[in-house]
Amino acid sequence: MSALSRVARFILLVNAAAAGGCAHYSIPATQLETPEARGALGAGRLELIGVQMGTDLSAQPSRPAPDPETGEVQGLELPLSTPHYAFGFTMGISKRVDVGVRLEPYSPLLLRAKYQYAGVSEQEVRQGNLSAAVSGAAGVMMSADAQFFAAHLGGPVGYRFAANHLVSVSPFLSVASISGPRLPAAAGADTLSASRFGMALGYQYTLQGLITRAELVRSWGSAGEPSIGGLFAGGMLGIAF
SS3 assignment, position 204: strand
- What is the per-residue pLDDT for 9? 55
Residue 66 lies in a domain: no
Q: What is the pTM of this model?
A: 0.86
Which residue from 61, 54, 49 is spatially nearest to 26, judged by alpha carbons? Answer: 54
Which residue from 139, 213, 210, 203 is spatially nearest to 177, judged by alpha carbons? Answer: 139
101-114 mean pLDDT: 95
Q: What whole-number distance in Å separates Cα of residue 17 and Cα of residue 143?
A: 9
Q: How many structural domains comprise the chain?
A: 1
Residue 33 lies in a domain: yes
Residue 28 lies in a domain: yes
- What is the per-residue pLDDT for 4? 44
pLDDT band at 186 (very low <50, low <70, confident <90, very high): confident
For residue 135, the Cα-to-chain-centroid distance in whole angstroms is 11
Residue 161 lies in a domain: yes
Residue 30 lies in a domain: yes
Contacts of 79 (CB under 8 A, 6+ apart): 55, 56, 59, 62
Residue 91 lies in a domain: yes
- What is the per-residue pLDDT for 31? 86
Residue 68 lies in a domain: no
Range of the domain at 217: 3-60+75-240
Provide the residue type at 4 as one letter: L
Residue 67 lies in a domain: no
* Distance set, CA 95 to CA 118, 173, 190, 219, 239 (Å): 12, 26, 44, 32, 19
Whether 12 shows a pLDDT value over 70: the answer reads no
Whether 91 shows a pLDDT value over 80: the answer reads yes
